[in-house]
Structure 1
Amino acid sequence: ASATVAIPKEHHRFVIGKNGEKLQDLELKTATKIQIPRPDDPSNQIKITGTKEGIEKARHEVLLISAEQQDKRAVERLEVEKAFHPFIAGPYNRLVGEIMQETGTRINIPPPSVNRTEIVFTGEKEQLAQAVARIKKIYEEKKKKTTTIAVEVKKSQHKYVIGPKGNSLQEILERTGVSVEIPPSDSISETVILRGEPEKLGQALTEVYAKANSFTVSSVAAPSWLHRFIIGKKGQNLAKITQQMPKV
């Protein structure tokens, strides 16, 4: 006789065990043949072949292994004001990366573009609790210590404050511990919000203005017939100018 039992695909490896020892022991103990789908097979069905009693025993053992893993893994959701997410992630996501590595817990912080406040933790119950406690501590400390100021920066200069892939914002956060919040690109608002410890806000504000004013745009009038000579053959003249002046 044969039967199938479905358990989450990620639990299959626990049925197999190290070097297949768990699976061999299970087959021996229940006098059955247990077939587990290959890792590249999306099926979650485990096939058990043997006597009726053996199949029942094996099925029970497989479900027990899966239940144990389910109990060990926990999911917790923590509400954290969106404004404090950068402090929890840390510059270049290093802080949250360290916490994940040290606790073995997966921590999902919504990206800035997603309007959600919930941080999701997944992992072993005990280690997950440690990760949640550390995040809560950071959150509570920042809520007590931070002050907010709002400044006006021309919309056209916002991209310079943000920098390529948000690098300028991360630099400011790393150097000053201050988070800089820029309005969405589809918003007409020119208000930039700085959030951090009072004694650090001045330095951060200086950096924001420096980055905002680090680029200027100038236009030179030239007749249209001259454009192709400025560009040059296959853009050679423009390429030469940008090579000689790398900041242009």
Structure 2
Amino acid sequence: MQNIKSERRQHQPVTKMTEKKAKGPTVTPQLARMRGQWVQETKEVTIKAPNNMLGVVVGPGGSTIKEIQEKYKVRVSVPQKGSKDQPLRVVGLDKGLVHDAADHIKALVQKAVTTTVTIKAPNNMLGVVVGPGGSTIKEIQEKYKVRVSVPQKGSKDQPLRVVGPDKGLVQDAAVHIESLMAYEKERRRLSTPVSQTVFIPKAHHGLIIGRQGQNIRYLSLTRRITIVLPPKNVISDEVTVTGLPDQVDQGVRDLVNLVKSSTHICYNSDF
């Protein structure tokens, strides 16, 4: 009798509670339809964005991504920090809004991507770029929508940096700065006195002086130069002309032409 009861227990059917544990939670037909509808109707767009740009999309405290999701009725999935350039995902029911949200995000990323240009600048040119009270650098930054970083005073010819979101404007700003420095460099060259030596035979130095010094006096006044001849007791062909660069160049030409026209001497000179 005991064996028969034992066999009956072994063949008893599984209880309802046991069946529920084996099958897991019940999925109602309504929930299944909702899931199927979501999968069927949702639209998704992926956006490639470098990891260092994810903060632009998320925003301070998640404010930017929250604003995008609420405005376009979408869900934006951002890759985990440290993942290797995984794409962002924009998902929603309205295809148009999904694409609009994606365009919005792309614009944010593009705007945040910066272009950097370095410009070699001697320390004595930094003041030209900065301008009185910072007026010049401020004008450049506002005009070209860039940020100009100037090396600290006393640094050894460190480059200037021009940074901005628009590559074309960054390059335009760099050209503007280089033009300012080139103009200033030329201005300083033309306004700084120089000396030049021309070799004219000692025997013809009297032609340069002229009767009662009229030739040397005329050249000195009209060209605004200083002409220095070697002393009479010194045998030297060197004649030194001092003044501003353009005036010195013309003065040397005048001296050479004066001697040529009087002596018919041919000089190996560019003048």
TM bin, normalised by shorter chain, reads 0.3 to 0.5
TM-score by length of 2: 0.36
TM-score by length of 1: 0.39
Which has the higher Rg, Structure 1 or Structure 2?
2
